[in-house]
Chains A and B, each alone.
Chain A
Amino acid sequence: MTENCDTRTHLPLGLAKRGYSGTIQHLSASGAGSSLPDAELESRLIELGFVEGARVEILHEGIVGRDPIAVRVDNITVAVRRREAMAIIVA
């Protein structure tokens, strides 16, 4: 948990709805439920620009189970499954 959080509650990006926008607080791969090992998942997320402080917004969602999601991360758009997005804690 970071110190500078405001009154908004932290939640995993994987649970956020379409239209949600916020800032990445931290990454927490353990318990996200991805098939990837924690370090690997975290590396891949960072490689796609999911780093602390990045602005994220959910632009679109898929038709089956609202999955995957299209996320704006600063100035690029990335598609991820909700399962992997559970590792991204936003507020």
Chain B
Amino acid sequence: MESPLTHLALVGTPNSGKTSLFNALTGSRQKVANYPGVTVERKEGSFVTPLGRQISVVDLPGTYSLRGRSPDEEITRDFVLGRAKSETPPDLVLCVADSTNLRLTIRLLLELKNTGRPLALVLNMFDIATRRGVTIDVPRLSEALGVPVVTSIAVRKKGTADLLRLTDELLSANPSEHQSTWQPLTVPELRATQREADRIIADTVSLPARPDTWTSRIDAVVLHPVGGLVVLLLILFVMFQAVFAWAQPLMDLLSAAFDALGQFVHEELPGGLLQSFLQNGVISGVGSVIVFLPQIIIIFLFILLLEDFGYMARAAFLMDRIMGGAGLHGRAFIPLLSSFACAIPGIMATRVIDNRRDRLTTILIAPLMTCSARIPVYTLIISAFIPAKDVWGVVNLQGLVMFGLYAAGIVSALGVSFVIKFFMWRDYQPAPFMLELPDYKMPRLRSIAIGIYTRAKMFLQRAGTTIFAMMVLIWFLASFPQPPEGATEPAINYSLAAIVGKAIAPLLSPIGFNWQIAVALIPGMAAREVAVAALGTVYAIEGGKEAAAQIGQVLATKWSLATALSLLAWYIFAPQCASTLAVIRRETGSWVWMAVTFGYMLALAYAASLLTYNIAVALGAG
């Protein structure tokens, strides 16, 4: 007979080492999804106890209390109370504590006792506590609290053996549930609970006289008002370097591999629809997604390392006031920075922002950061239309325009963030910056590897399917109907894409776009840089991306300067990236936010192009 599945829930304060304990228990047997209707990550895993019990364990969002002051904390509260829809109430709640810092967790545990759920306290990172001179009288603590207490070292092999044994013991004893007497604590009750917690700790724990010297030494540099910013900039520089330089060879390799595979299919199959579908739809569609994988892995490697080490909270501390001016949270800094490489890992990285609205704002503005896929388009147009002369003797005009495009992206992102805060969430109280700065800890490779693995898997599985479907759709639009016999123009000019392009061309003519641009914008939805190759196709230039210089020469004769400038303005804002939209849909768990992003970016792009075109024409560049 198969034993029934037992449900466990991990509860703890942020920084309690809950996630590393979760990783230690479940290894790679994890599923990451969103709770229905909210942008909160739901992490579930499974393991088998020494007695062969099948356990499903959920890592609940970190919280200091059960008051539920944010969507994340509401999930934790509802889950523990058994109120969460479509969730099995946990058979056992494990309250995870950082052994070096028990005050806040003991208070949380006293509150959890009121829920009536079977409960145990896990003293995690017990090795670090012992090394720092913290001594805990475990049996006495257990007696004072009235719940079983077990020690664990999540990062060590066998470090969870005691916990597994206790889990078996507690579950075999068939723990009985009590009626929940939980009520949200009033301020005096909260204070009384903290006093009670402090009394129990004074009775059972002896603390060392000195704080962790390593943490103070590192913080003396890292949180220094000037030195701290220098360190932050250095870390960012290395991160940028890694994302652009280290990822590039891998990306080139992947890209070349998919090209070769496409070429192989091209040669092996007879010409026709199947060949085109496999080569241009499936292989290049899948390839264009997988090519982002090295960047995603590298960005998450940095983010998880910095998070595990304890630096992320410090970066937020340093950036808080600087970002706060635009209504952004200090933690939005890293995701927005990552978006300069690519909005996809940037948007995925917004998971470090706990507050849902702060996170949504960051997701909405991330695509405005100038990502690397815009560079080919910018380079093409700038080199074709902007003379390479020096201004003020020192600055190259082409470089200046490029810089201006980057700056326009940043300024508009800050502006949009400001507008969002002002109009959409005016009633919303911004989360005040109150954050624990945890002691530094050596990051553990196993935990980081599991983190990267789950992110990469999620990206490939979930975003991959949506992105792939969009790629196939775009291929379909660009390939059907087939050109008639004896057609003289490029095939795309007979397709649905051309029909749509010509149909929307009148809408785009006020901003100076001709129908060829309109047609190229449709395959350009697959990825921004594809528009370059598409323009080449539309103007019937052989050689694809490699012929960029040639395309530039043709464009310079066919477009006015005003049209070129208008297209540059368009590319700063336009939501020209199906993958980004798919990731926004996935990360926010809603089509609405994807539509909002698409809509506002499209509106901004149109307005910016309209303005640019008309001003340029008025100045005589038409």
A47 near B64: Cβ-Cβ < 8 Å: yes
Q: Is the CB of B223 within 8 A of A78?
A: no
Q: What is the CA–CA distance of A41 and B69 in the complex, to the nearest angstrom?
A: 11
A-side contacts of B393, CB under 8 Å: none
Closest beta carbon of chain A to B415's beta carbon, Å: 20
Question: Are A62 and B191 in contact, CB atoms less than 8 angstroms apart?
Answer: no
Check: A10 CB closer than 8 A to any chain B CB: no
Decide: B436 and A51 in contact? CB cutoff 8 A: no
* A64 pairs with B321, CB closer than 8 A: yes
B205 to chain A, nearest CB (A): 10
Alpha-carbon separation in the docked complex, A44 to B73 (Å):
13
Partner pick for A63 among B64, B103, B229, CB 8 A cutoff: B229
Interface residues of B in 62-107 (CB under 8 A from A): 64-65, 67, 69, 100-101, 103-104, 107
| B residues in contact with A28, CB < 8 Å | none
Tell whether, in the assembled complex, residue A68 and residue B321 are in contact, meaning their CB atoms are under 8 Å apart: yes
- Asked if A48 and B219 sit within 8 Å, CB to CB, the answer is no
**Contact: A47 with B223, CB < 8 Å?**
no
With A49-B103, A51-B195: A62-B320 Cβ-Cβ less than 8 Å: yes
In the complex, A9 has a CB within 8 A of chain B? no
Give the distance in Å from the alpha carbon of A41 to the alpha carbon of B429 in the complex: 12
Are B432 and A35 touching (Cβ within 8 A)?
A: yes
- The smallest beta-carbon distance between B229 and chain A, in angstroms, is 7
Q: Are B320 and A68 in contact (CB under 8 A)?
A: yes
B487 proximal to A (CB < 8 A): no
Docked pose: A69 CA to B100 CA in angstroms: 22
- A34 CA / B195 CA spacing, docked (Å): 25
Asked if B616 is an interface residue, CB under 8 A from chain A, the answer is no
**In-complex Cβ contact of B434 among A39, A48, A51 (8 A):** A48
Q: Does the CB pair A78–B435 fall under 8 Å?
A: yes
Residue of A nearest to B316 (CB): A79
Does A77 reach chain B (CB closer than 8 Å)?
yes
A-contact bits for B217-261, CB 8 A (1 contact / 0 none): 001000111101100000000000000000000000000000000
Question: Are A36 and B219 also in contact (CB < 8 A) when A51-B198, A61-B225, A76-B101 are?
Answer: no
* Chain B residues within 8 Å of A43, by CB: 65, 67, 185, 187, 190
- Distance from A46 Cβ to chain B, minimum over Cβ atoms (Å): 5
On whether the beta carbons of B187 and A42 are closer than 8 Å, the reply is yes
Shortest CB distance B340–A (Å)? 23
> Which single residue of chain B is at the shortest CB-CB distance from A37?
B429
Q: Give the residues in chain B near A36, CB-CB below 8 Å.
A: 429, 432
Identify the closest chain A residue to B319 (Cβ): A62
Contact of A51 among B194, B219, B429, B433 (CB under 8 A): B194
Contact B103 A76, beta carbon cutoff 8 Å: yes
Chosen A-B contacts, 13 in total, with CB atoms closer than 8 Å, are A35-B432, A41-B432, A45-B434, A46-B190, A47-B190, A48-B104, A62-B320, A63-B228, A63-B318, A67-B321, A76-B101, A79-B316, A79-B437
Using a CB–CB cutoff of 8 Å, the interface residues on chain B facing chain A are: 64-65, 67, 69, 100-101, 103-104, 107, 185-187, 190-191, 194-195, 198, 207, 211, 215-216, 219, 223-226, 228-229, 313, 316-318, 320-322, 429-430, 432-439
